[in-house]
Structure 1
Amino acid sequence: MKQALLDTIEGLKRGDLWVYLGWHDVKQRYRRSTLGPLWITLATAIMVAGMTVVYGGLFRQELKTFLPLVASGLVIWGFISGCISEGVNVFISASSTIKQLPAPLTVHVFRLVWTQFIYFLHNLVIVPVVVVIVGLPVSPTMLLVIPALFLLIANVTWICLLLGAIGARFRDVPLIVQSFMAALFMITPVLWQPSFLPPERQWVAFLNPFTYLVEIVRAPLLGNAPSLSMWLVTIAMAVGGGACATLLYSRSRAQIAFWV
């Protein structure tokens, strides 16, 4: 456990490395593209418009109030799902680098989260535009999105570390995770809110840990303060999940290079 913690701290200190590699990943993905990463924003904007029209009609919601909900939800979920989908293969994808570059393995986790955060920032531009379009009032409560983002990043980081270690050992895990991502999207309040459910069924939404990760960021983006329970659960997830991920990583750290 001590070595795993030192590895994590050393990985954080190598920010120059994983920041550079993250920027390089983004540039390589959109090399020779005219719009470059703006394709991410354009694709998300089209999805937001389509989902708002379709699901707004299904849920019988006014477009003016439903549009910010969908825009913020899809932007946040894009970050979460990107980290999960890529995180389960984080060590497998970096196998050649792991074998050649003497660096802490956590560097590759931070590199992945940083890359996905860059994509998230590109998509986040959509939310202020939507706020202006629908005339949503700007309030100081929106500043709570800053600590909420820190909690979200802390949680997706340990999820990437946990899934990456398991995925490197058991190659069926990446396939299982990919198969369940669509179902996870449907049962997580991305295009809806727990309040849309009947009171006797709302507990189902709050059993889903990803509900808290989405709502802790979406609430301040829409000018609402997250409840105290929302903060406490998200902090508990970050601390408890981080401890479990570090424990598993400490047991598998020495073997990951051989597994990949």
Structure 2
Amino acid sequence: MKEVWMILKEQIDNFHMIRKLALYNMKTEYSNHYLGMFWNILQPLLQVVIYYVVFGMGLRHGSTGLTYLLHLVSGLFPWLFISQSLNSGANAIYAQLGLVTKMKFPSSVLLSISFTNTFINLLYTTVIVVLMSLANGYRGYMHFFEFLYFIVAAFSIIFAINLLMSTLVILVRDTRLILQNILRMGFFLTPIFWEVSTASPILQKIASLNPFAYLVGIYRNAFIEGNEAIYGNIGDHLYFWSITLLLMFIGSHIHYRFKNRLVDYL
């Protein structure tokens, strides 16, 4: 547990640097684009249009309208945030390994910088979800505070996974390709465009074991459903946080074991 606390302390001590570098990365990323940071909104909206046509008007035989569109975006936007955070976070240390090895720079901070970049994108898309939800007559305003819990839960498990994956990507290059394929499968196994209550027993079981389905459920409960005080039961919460803490422990241990020798594996 000592390694976990040391990792968390690095994030707290370097909070201002994380914020500044995250904003700098976003500005430089779109500096040569005419639309600039508007791409943070345009890209997910284009994906919504595609999935709405395929899954709403196509596979669901005309399940159109604002209700289904809300169900789609409230699943797709958090999933894009999760998948982008994992993809970029897994490669964060490898992409900046020269900086880490030449300077006294805590490599774990790179994971928080990567997360902050994708989180800013999520804030843009969440504004869209809120406006659509209000237009649909949603009145569960108090559930908006559940989004704060979503942020804490999402950061915890994504950071824990990236601690592990960012090291393994350097040790075993195939790890990144494995992660990408797992995320592709995760898109279909997470209730983004389908509903758990109407799914087959197999999909319901998979969803119950999928920690990202838990995050999507929290996000939906905050902005479009609001049927429960907080999404899930005590068993769901214990399961999610048990997995998160286990991954955090394993990731911290592996990160500290190899962080000073990563350049040897290039």
**TM superposition score normalised by structure 2:** 0.88
Query: Shift of the alpha carbon at 1:4?
Result: 6.0
Tell me the distance in 2 between the aligned counterparts of 1:148 and 1:220: 9
Tell me the distance in 1 between the aligned counterparts of 2:241 and 2:173: 31
Tell me the distance in 1 between the aligned counterparts of 2:132 and 2:187: 22
Higher mean alpha-carbon deviation, 138-147 vs 21-30, is at: 138-147
User: Deviations for 1:86-111, whole angstroms, at most 9, x for unmatched residues?
Assistant: 12212111112112321211111111
User: Deviations for 1:8-30, whole angstroms, at most 9, x for unmatched residues?
Assistant: 41233111222111111111110
1:236 aligned partner: 242
Higher mean alpha-carbon deviation, 109-118 vs 49-58, is at: 49-58
1:184 aligned partner: 186
1:210 aligned partner: 212
The verdict on how the C-alpha distance between 1:3 and 1:158 changes in structure 2, with shifts beyond 3 A counting, is: closer
Stretches of structure 1 that go unaligned for 5 or more consecutive residues are none
User: Deviations for 1:94-142, whole angstroms, at most 9, x for unmatched residues?
Assistant: 1121123212111111111111111211222220122133233333123
The verdict on how the C-alpha distance between 1:93 and 1:199 changes in structure 2, with shifts beyond 3 A counting, is: same
Contact 1:162-1:245 within 8 A present in 2 as well: yes
2:260 aligns to what SS in structure 1? helix
Contact 1:45-1:126 within 8 A present in 2 as well: no
The verdict on how the C-alpha distance between 1:223 and 1:91 changes in structure 2, with shifts beyond 3 A counting, is: same
Contact 1:73-1:191 within 8 A present in 2 as well: yes
Stretches of structure 2 that go unaligned for 5 or more consecutive residues are none
Contact 1:79-1:120 within 8 A present in 2 as well: yes
The verdict on how the C-alpha distance between 1:201 and 1:81 changes in structure 2, with shifts beyond 3 A counting, is: closer
1:152-231 aligned within 5 A: 152-199=154-201, 201-224=203-226, 225=228, 226-228=231-233, 229-231=235-237
What amino acid sits opposite 2:259 in the alignment? R
Contact 2:4-2:248 within 8 A present in 1 as well: no
2:106 aligns to what SS in structure 1? coil
1:85 aligned partner: 87
Higher mean alpha-carbon deviation, 59-68 vs 210-219, is at: 59-68
Query: Shift of the alpha carbon at 1:250?
Result: 2.7
**Structure 1 residue 29 corresponds to structure 2 residue 10:** no
Please report the RMSD computed on the Cα atoms of aligned residues, expressed in angstroms.
2.1
1:146-157 aligned within 5 A: 146-157=148-159
2:84 aligns to what SS in structure 1? helix
Contact 1:30-1:37 within 8 A present in 2 as well: yes
2:112 aligned partner: 110
2:265 aligned partner: 259
1:54-65 aligned within 5 A: 54-57=54-57, 58-60=59-61, 61-65=63-67
Tell me the distance in 1 between the aligned counterparts of 2:213 and 2:187: 10
Higher mean alpha-carbon deviation, 24-33 vs 211-220, is at: 211-220
The verdict on how the C-alpha distance between 1:135 and 1:52 changes in structure 2, with shifts beyond 3 A counting, is: farther
What amino acid sits opposite 1:40 in the alignment? N
**TM superposition score normalised by structure 1:** 0.90
Q: How many residues align?
A: 260
Runs ≥4 in structure 1, deviation > 6 angstroms?
none
Query: Shift of the alpha carbon at 1:180?
Result: 3.2
What amino acid sits opposite 1:6 in the alignment? M
What amino acid sits opposite 2:107 in the alignment? L
The verdict on how the C-alpha distance between 1:199 and 1:174 changes in structure 2, with shifts beyond 3 A counting, is: closer
**Structure 1 residue 135 corresponds to structure 2 residue 153:** no
Contact 1:4-1:250 within 8 A present in 2 as well: no
